[in-house]
Chains A and B, each alone.
Chain A
Amino acid sequence: MITVVLPSTLGVKDTRVELHEAVSTIAELVDVIDARIPGFREQLDDSVFNFAVNDEMLLHHARERTLRDGDVVEVIPTISGG
Chain B
Amino acid sequence: MSIHSRVAQLLQELPKEPQFPTQGATLFIDLERREVARAYTPLRVARAFLAGRGANMFYLYRLLDESLEPLHPEIPLIFGSGVLTGIVPSAARGNASSWSPESGVLMDSNAGDYFPSFIRMNGIDHIVLYGRAERWTVIRVKGGEVEFIDGMSYLGLDNIDLRARIPRDLGGTWDRDLAMVNVTVAGENQVLCSAIMGGPKACYARGGPGAKMGSLKVKAIVVQGQTRDFETAQPYKGYNRTIAQKLLETSVVKHALKHTGTPFLYKPSRLLGAMGTKNNQETTWTEKLDAENIAPYRPGMTGCFRCPVNCRPLNQLNEDEQDKYGRGDGPEYVTLGKFGPNVGIDRIESVIRLNNVCNDLGLDTASTGSTIAWAMELYQRGIIDEQHTGGLELTWGDAELVERLLFMISRRQGFGNVLADSTRAVENGHYPPEALKYRMAVKGLMQSDPHDARILKAFALGLAVATRGMDHLRNRVTLEINARINDDPAFKERLYGAPVSAAPNSYENKEQAVRACENTYAVGDSVGMCRFTTKLFNSPSLPGLDEFAAQIRNVTGLEYSAAELDRVGLNIMGVERLINHRLGVGREHDTLPERWFEEPVKVGAYAGEKIDRAEFDAMLSRFYEISSLTADGVPTDAFRDELQEALGVAARASGANEPRERSGESGTPRASV
Contacts and interface: CB of A to CB of B under 8 A. Distances in A.
A9 B253 CA distance: 11
B451 to A, nearest CB: 9
A80 B337 CA distance: 12
Interface string B262-284: 11110110011000000000000
B487 A78 contact: no
A14 interface: no
Nearest to A26: B483
B333 interface: yes
Contacts of B252: 47-48, 77, 79
A21 interface: no
Interface stretch (B159-167, B420-428, B533-541, B639-647): B533-541
Contact of A81 (B263, B482, B541): B263
A46 B484 contact: yes
Given A48-B539, A55-B271, A59-B504, A81 B483 contact: no
Interface in A18-67: 45-52, 55-63
Interface stretch (B344-352, B473-481, B544-552): B473-481
B255 interface: yes
Contacts of B478: 79-80
B481 A59 contact: yes
Given A81-B262, A81-B265, A82-B531, A60 B502 contact: yes
B40 interface: no
B483 A58 contact: yes
By CB atoms of chain A within 10 A, which of B251, B268, B483 has the most?
A: B483
B251 A48 contact: yes
A57 B271 CA distance: 6
Contact of B255 (A45, A48, A57, A59): A48
A12 interface: no
Contacts of B272: 57, 59
B614 interface: no
Interface string B223-258: 000000000000000000000000000011011110
B256 A82 contact: no
B487 A50 contact: no
Contacts of A10: 255
Interface in B515-550: 531-532, 537-541
A76 B268 contact: yes
A78 B482 contact: yes
B262 A9 contact: no
A42 to B, nearest CB: 11
B486 interface: yes
A61 to B, nearest CB: 6
A57 B264 CA distance: 14
Contacts of A76: 267-268, 271
B418 to A, nearest CB: 27
Interface in B481-500: 481-487
A57 B605 contact: yes
B476 A80 contact: yes
Contacts of B482: 47-48, 50, 59, 78
A47 B262 contact: no
A77 B264 contact: yes
A46 B374 CA distance: 38
Nearest to A60: B486
Contacts of B484: 45-47, 49, 62
A36 B185 CA distance: 58
A80 B503 contact: no
Nearest to B456: A59
A48 B258 CA distance: 14
B507 to A, nearest CB: 15
Contacts of A47: 251-252, 479, 482, 484-485, 539-541
Nearest to B292: A8
Given A9-B256, A80-B478, A81-B263, A51 B483 contact: yes
A9 B539 CA distance: 17
B324 to A, nearest CB: 25
Contacts of A58: 483
A80 B64 CA distance: 34
Nearest to A61: B487
Contacts of A9: 254-256, 259-260
B258 to A, nearest CB: 9
Contact of A56 (B256, B502, B604): B604
Contacts of A45: 484
Given A48-B539, A81-B333, A57 B254 contact: no
B74 interface: no
Contacts of A81: 261-265, 332-334, 449, 532
Contact of B473 (A46, A57, A77, A82): A82
Interface of A: 7, 9-10, 45-52, 55-63, 76-82
13 contacts: A9-B254, A10-B255, A47-B541, A48-B482, A50-B483, A57-B271, A57-B272, A58-B483, A62-B484, A79-B538, A80-B333, A81-B262, A81-B263
Interface of B: 251-252, 254-257, 259-265, 267-268, 271-272, 332-334, 448-449, 472-473, 476, 478-487, 502-504, 531-532, 537-541, 604-605
Given A55-B271, A59-B504, 15 more contacts: A9-B259, A47-B540, A48-B538, A50-B481, A60-B483, A61-B483, A61-B487, A62-B483, A76-B267, A76-B271, A80-B262, A80-B532, A81-B261, A82-B448, A82-B532
